[in-house]
Amino acid sequence: MIRVGIVGGTGYTGVELLRLLAQHPHVEIIAITSRKEAGLDVCELFPSLRGRLSLKFSEPADAQLEKCDVVFFATPHGVAMEQARALLSAGVKVIDLAADFRLRDPAEFERWYKTPHTCVDLLAEAVYGLPEVNREAIRSARLIGLPGCYPTSVQLGLLPVLEHGGLIDTASLIADCKSGVSGAGRKAELSMLLAEAGDSVKAYSVPGHRHLPEITQGLKAIAAMAGKAQGANDLKIAFVPHLMPMIRGIHSTLYARVLGHAQEFDFQKLYEQRFAAEPFVDVLPAGAHPETRSVRGSNFMRIAVHRPPETDLLVILVVEDNLVKGASGQGVQVLNIMFGLPETAGLTQLPVLP
């Protein structure tokens, strides 16, 4: 059994991680930390886990995380980079669900997260944990920076066309993305109250969202890996997130201008072929419109490809559960790859309807 520790397991990504790992056939959760809830039985805070998990929250200093095979950080940014070095030195693998090891440039991290990076040397070693792009690097990694929820949907939505190259204008990409309120985390905040967020939709962080540099970095890396250096250099994307009156889910509508010579290209076939072997990416039939409820509670992502008539646009619709494929489920998928397990282990739950 793989011995797992979780740092900061009281938020939404933390409880989702517990839900998935408690059902995993090859995992034993041996420690979960929380200064505030230390000594409390996990099932008292999260009664959905009653009968599946017998564990108490512990103080970080008492958790003996060095005895784990892998430690997940389900914490705000800044925590993993303070503790990762000691865990790695003890032979423990680290998967960070926050932003500490996503951005390659420490100056960019400081710009967007308003704090200096304290272990810059580890950035060169950290692997960006997007399996559909970096699967081989993940296999041998000991430190993973897990993608954010929005960046997962945008990067995988544009992956086939960027890998192919020469099909779209990479300098005028648009990502129009909507997320449920759980994406803001489990905290008391006025704008997240039901009376504030219900029956309303709003855009936010239009001048600049923290996920924008991650999205841009990832898309440029995909284009560069595919040998499309010019496309990578020219790539620009406008990213506009929206808050939706729902608990879970992300719906990303991606727009790209198709180049003149590619107007008759079969984009549906390109997407079907690229994701045919991916266990968690479902390309829908031509003309389909995916719904966020079709992935709720699952690690699946569903994609639909459209060419609106009398335009030169390619429109890609992407849905995912922000807490599963957008966070904790992807973390478990990465764990499976790192430890040589079937990639779907512990992740075969079907979406929940209604």
Instruction: Tell me whether the CATH fold assigned to 2-125 matches the one assigned to 150-323.
Output: no
In the chain, the DSSP E strands lie at: 2-7, 27-33, 70-73, 93-96, 127-128, 143-145, 173-179, 202-203, 237-243, 250-257, 281-283, 301-306, 313-320
pLDDT interval class at 225 (50, 70, 90): confident
* C-alpha distance across the termini of the chain, in Å: 35
43, 68, 119, 149: the catalytic one is 149
Q: Residue 108: helix, strand or coil by DSSP?
A: helix
pLDDT at 265 over 60: yes
Interval 40-80: pLDDT, tens? 999 999 999 999 999 999 998 888 999 999 999 999 999 99
pLDDT beyond 70 at 229: no
Rg (CA), the chain: 20
Give the per-residue pLDDT at 232. 72
- Residue-range domain boundaries for the chain: 2-125, 150-323
Residue 115 CB neighbour total at 10 angstroms = 12
Looking at domain 2-125, its CATH superfamily turns out to be NAD(P)-binding Rossmann-like Domain (3.40.50.720)
Q: Give yes or no for residue 219 having a pLDDT over 60.
A: yes
Q: How far apart are CA 227 and CA 232, in angstroms?
A: 9
Q: Which CATH architecture has domain 150-323?
A: 2-Layer Sandwich (3.30)
* 119 assigned to active site: no
Per-residue pLDDT at 336 exceeds 80: yes
- Please compute, for residue 104, the number of CA atoms within 13 A of its CA located in the half-sphere on the CB side: 10
Q: How far apart are CA 282 and CA 57, in angstroms?
A: 37
